[in-house]
Amino acid sequence: MSAADDEHAAPAVRAMTDADVAAVLALERRLFPHDAWPESFFREELAEVASGTRQYWVAVAADGAVIGYAGLMCVLPLADVQTLAVAPEAQGRGLGTRLLRLLVDAAAARRADQVLLEVRSDNPGAQALYAREGFAAIHTRPRYYPDGADALIMQKPLRDLDAPTSASRLRS
């Protein structure tokens, strides 16, 4: 494969490890200047992977640079998008969509009945991505972020949420 091919190859996506935290943190501080997670959050989240409630991935360019990451919390029946980020130089090429679909597929594989996420009300780009992928705004949390911005709660149902679950059918 030539260097030019390498440059345009789809980034590899693999599980995030502790060794990725420094690179992820550098990206986090660039992408979320108002509310970057501290290092301890990432380490605590990765420590929860063993419990089965968290899954984290990184996207890696051909040169080994971390250019994106995504995380999911799944405590049934809910799944939450914990984070989703793509480096500015890699944005607009479908990587955000790919990572989001990975999160939704992982939630579905765990039989979550819905996926929830919070997104800043002043982040129309991310909201457009989520809406295109079947998320709808269900609630606003005023002044949720440290700089006073509101959070929009968005939801993607993975089954008919009005239908009774097998558990509720048993009780009735």
Ligand X SMILES: CC(C)(COP(=O)(O)OP(=O)(O)OC[C@H]1O[C@@H](n2cnc3c(N)ncnc32)[C@H](O)[C@@H]1OP(=O)(O)O)[C@@H](O)C(=O)NCCC(=O)NCCS
Q: Which long-range contacts (CB under 8 A, 24 or more apart) does 84-92 make?
A: 84/117, 84/126, 85/27, 85/28, 85/31, 85/32, 86/59, 87/27, 87/30, 87/31, 88/30, 88/31, 90/11, 90/59, 90/61
User: Closest-CB residue for ligand X?
Assistant: 96
Nearest alpha-carbon partner for 15 in 60, 82, 51, 73: 60
Q: Which is nearer to ligand X, 14 or 159 (CB)?
A: 14
Q: Does 112 bind ligand X (CB under 6 A)?
A: no
Which residue lies nearer to ligand X by CB, 12 or 165? Answer: 12
Indicate which single residue of 13, 37, 53, 93 sits in contact with ligand X (rule: CB under 6 A): 93
Q: How far is the CB of 150 from ligand X (least distance, A)?
A: 13
Q: Does the footprint of ligand X cover residue 96 (CB under 6 A)?
A: yes
What is the C-alpha to C-alpha distance for residues 126 and 32, in angstroms, rounded to an integer? 13
Q: Is 128 in the site for ligand X (CB under 6 A)?
A: yes
The CA–CA distances, whole Å, from 132 to 36, 47, 100, 101, 102 equal 25, 32, 11, 11, 15
Chosen residue from 65, 126, 137, 149 binding ligand X by CB under 6 A: 126
165 binds ligand X (CB under 6 A): no
Q: How many residues of this chain bind ligand X (CB under 6 A)?
A: 18
- Residues 66, 12: Cα–Cα separation, whole Å: 10
| Residues in region 65-84 near ligand X by CB under 6 A | 84
Identify the residue among 16, 25, 95, 103 touching ligand X (CB under 6 A).
95
Residues that bind ligand X (CB under 6 A): 31, 84-86, 91-97, 119, 123, 125-126, 128-129, 132
